Amino acid sequence: MNADQAISSRRALETDEVTRYARHLLLPGVGRAGQERLASARVLVVGAGGLGSPVLLYLAAAGVGTLGIVDDDLVELTNLQRQVVHETADIGRAKVDSAADRVRALNPAIQVRAHRGRLTAQNAAQVLGDYDLVIDGADNFPTRYVVAAAAARHGIPHVWGSVYRFEGQVSVWSPPQGPCYACVFPEPPSADQAPSCSIGGVFGAVCAALGSVMATEAIKLLTGIGEPLIGRLLMHDALAMRWSELPVRRHPDCPVCRVPESARAPSPAPVVEPEAVESVAVSEIERELGEGALLVDVREQGERDIVVIPGAQWVTLDVIRRGAEDLPTGARVLVHCKSGARSAEAVRLLRARGVDAVNITGGVLAWIREIDPTLPTY
C-alpha cells in the first residue's frame, strides 16, 4: 500500500455496522467506501501502553477490521495513570490479553490478534508482513529501529509517536514519499538525553493527545483522505498548549530505506555494553552501613518524592558526572538508583577517581521488593 493512497480492498458492511458507523458514513471523503476500507484493513499496534491505549480504542471504535497488538509486559499499578485500555482488575495480566479483551468488548465485530513478546530483528519482518500499516507506540529505542526497518522492508506506512513528561512527537514514516524513522533519528540518544518515563515521568493526558493524532493519521492513510504527516514532525507542548511542526527529509545515505532489501540493516549497530561493576545485594546494606559504609542515592528529586531508602545521602548522577560530589574520602560508598543502571555509571565514575564505590543490585525497586514491600513503587 502506498502511503498516499487508500487501501484497495473493501468489505461490505452489515446492517448493524451501518448504524454503528453512521457518523463516519456522513463524512465527505469517508462515506461508505471509506468505512468499507477500514473494515478490511489490518493494523499492527506496537505497544499496549500510554500511546497504544488511545490508539487501540479509537481504531476499534472506528471499525478497523483487524487489530494486532504487540507487547511483552504485564499490567502494573503505575500503568493505570495513563494506559486507559487497562483496568485495575487487569493488574498482573499480560498487556496484550488485557488490551485484546477491552478492544473486543468495545467492538465485537473486529478481529484481534495478540502477539505477546517483543519485536526483534528476527521476528519483525514476519509479524509485519500480515498487516497494511504499523503504529509504533513502543517505549524503547531498539524496538523503534526494528519497526522502522521492517516497515521499510515491507513498504507499509509507519505511524510513530513518542511522549516524555509534558511533550510529545508524531510523524508518519513512508519512504520513498518521505523519510523513514532512521533517516531523521539515525542513532538512539544516550540514556541521560532521553530517560524513560519511569525515571522522568509522563503527564497522562499527553498520551491521549498524541495517541489520538496517531489514530487519526492511521485512519487518513487507510481511507485516503487528508494530508498525512509524511515529511513533517508534529510536536506538542502540553504546558504551553502549543503544537508546532518541523519539516523532515530522507537521508541520502540512510542504511534502512535506501539500499536494497538484502543489505538493509534491521537496527543500528549494537551498543557495546559497559563492563560490569562490583555490586552488593540490598540484603547487605544494613551490614555494610554498620561497618561504616555510606549509602548514596543518585536519582532525581521527583523519584525521591515517591520513595527513599532510609539513610541514603542524595547526590544526583549529574553531580557525579560533573565531578562535583562531596563524599568523604576513605569510606566505602554504596550507590543506588531505581533499578541499577544509573548507579552502575556512577560507580564507574567514582571508582575512576579512587572512590571505593559499589553498585546496589536492583536499586530501590529491589529494596521495596525484598526489604519493605509496604513502600510505594513507580
- CA dist 294 and 310 (Å) reads 12
C-alpha cell at position 167 = 511533550
Q: Tens digit of pLDDT for each residue in 175-196?
A: 999 999 999 999 887 655 556 6
DSSP code per residue over 197-243: HHHH-B-HHHHHHHHHHHHHHHHHHHHT-S---BTEEEEEETTTTEE
Q: Tens digit of pLDDT for each residue in 205-253?
A: 999 999 999 999 999 999 999 999 999 999 999 999 999 999 999 998 8
Mean pLDDT value across the chain: 90
pLDDT above 90 as % of the chain: 73
> Which pLDDT value is given to residue 183?
94
Which residue is listed with cell 521499510? Answer: 152
| Backbone angle region of 51, left / alpha / beta, with phi > 0 → left and psi within -120 to 50 → alpha | alpha
158 Cβ contact partners less than 8 Å away, ≥ 6 residues apart: 133, 134, 136, 147, 148, 151, 152, 172, 173, 174, 180, 181
Q: Which of 259, 260, 215, 250 is nearest to 230 (CA)?
A: 250
Q: Tens digit of pLDDT for each residue in 127-163?
A: 999 999 999 999 889 999 999 999 999 999 999 999 9
Q: Which of 178, 197, 208, 167 is nearest to 51 (CA)?
A: 208
> Which pLDDT value is given to residue 239?
96
Q: Tens digit of pLDDT for each residue in 53-90?
A: 999 999 999 999 999 999 999 999 999 999 999 999 99
Q: Is the model's pTM score more than 0.85? A: no
Q: Tens digit of pLDDT for each residue in 313-330?
A: 999 998 999 888 888 878
pLDDT above 70 as % of the chain: 91
DSSP code per residue over 236-268: EETTTTEEEEEE----TT-TTTTS-GGG--SSS
| Backbone angle region of 43, left / alpha / beta, with phi > 0 → left and psi within -120 to 50 → alpha | beta
CB atoms within 10 A of CB 224: 19
Q: Which residues are catalytic?
A: 197, 337
> Which pLDDT value is given to residue 2?
42
CA 36 to chain CA centroid, Å, is: 31
> Which pLDDT value is given to residue 10?
85
> Which pLDDT value is given to residue 190?
62
> Which pLDDT value is given to residue 377?
86
Residue 144 has φ and ψ, to the nearest 5°, of -60, -40
Neighbour-count burial for 340-376, b at 16+ CB within 10 Å, e otherwise: bbbbbbbbbbbeeeebebbbbbbbbbbbbeeeeeeee
> Which pLDDT value is given to residue 305?
83
> Which pLDDT value is given to residue 269?
44
For 29-38, what is the mean pLDDT? 93
> Which pLDDT value is given to residue 272?
45
Q: Please report which confidence band the pLDDT of residue 266 belongs to, taking 50, 70 and 90 as the band edges.
A: low
12 pLDDT more than 80 = yes
> Which pLDDT value is given to residue 302?
81
For 297-318, what is the mean pLDDT? 90
Beta strands in the chain (DSSP E): 42-46, 66-71, 111-116, 133-136, 158-164, 167-173, 232-237, 242-247, 279-280, 294-297, 313-314, 332-336, 356-360
Cα dist. 104→57, 67, 82, 110, 312 in Å? Answer: 10, 10, 20, 7, 48
**30, 46 contact by CB (below 8 A):** no
- CA dist 102 and 75 (Å) reads 13
Q: Tens digit of pLDDT for each residue in 358-374?
A: 999 999 999 999 999 99
